């Protein structure tokens, strides 16, 4: 599907309507992955949580995935280490990429920060096409993820 800034304005509005500050954080994470997967039809959408020295699989939608990722490893671990979003056009060309599912060809990962600017989660989306994610996806998704940061 073609995604435009409007796609993300709509997604943000819908996500904002789903967030409930009275329920556990996990409930909101799960509902957000469900919404994004449903609207964008991506292969895998999910969160990894920083727990001690590794990333641990949290709420997600899609096929089963790797449950633990060490600091600095894979795209997610690099994003945590660098404190930067990463867009990978071709996972085969990213050194150290962790292949949870061989159908994944491109991905985007975005760190989520707590109030102390520490990385608390890594948000990860995988696609079965190469080169699927662009700057506008990063911008639009980051805005949606501020809804989670506001809960931390």
Q: Which residues of this protein are in contact with ligand SME, per CB under 6 A?
A: 44, 65-66, 69, 74-77, 97-98, 100, 104, 107, 124, 126
Provide the minimum distance between the beta carbon of 31 and ligand SME in the complex, in angstroms, as a whole number.
19
* Helix (H) or strand (E) segment spanning residue 149: helix 135-149
Report the candidate in 108, 104, 105 with the shortest Cα–Cα distance to residue 76: 108
DSSP label of 18: H
- Beta carbon nearer to ligand SME, 100 or 110: 100
Provide the minimum distance between the beta carbon of 13 and ligand SME in the complex, in angstroms, as a whole number.
27
Contact 89/108 with Cβ under 8 angstroms? no
Distance in angstroms (rounded) separating the CA atoms of residues 1 and 19: 25
Q: Which position's Cβ is nearest ligand SME?
A: 74
Provide the minimum distance between the beta carbon of 130 and ligand SME in the complex, in angstroms, as a whole number.
14
């Amino acid at each position: 599907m073609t995604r435009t800034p409007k796609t993300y304005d709509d997604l943000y509005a819908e996500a904002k309507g789903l967030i409930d500050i009275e329920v556990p954080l996990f409930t909101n994470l799960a509902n957000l992955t469900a919404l994004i997967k449903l609207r964008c039809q991506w292969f895998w959408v999910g969160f990894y949580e920083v727990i001690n020295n590794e990333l641990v699989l949290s709420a997600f939608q899609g096929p089963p995935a790797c449950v633990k990722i060490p600091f600095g490893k894979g795209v997610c671990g690099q994003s945590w280490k660098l404190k930067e979003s990463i867009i990978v056009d071709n996972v085969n060309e990213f050194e150290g990429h962790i292949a949870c599912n061989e159908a994944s060809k491109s991905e985007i990962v975005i760190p989520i920060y707590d109030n102390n600017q520490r990385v608390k989660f890594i948000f990860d989306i995988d696609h079965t096409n190469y080169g699927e994610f662009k700057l506008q996806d990063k911008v639009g998704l980051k805005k949606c993820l501020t809804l989670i940061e506001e809960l931390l």
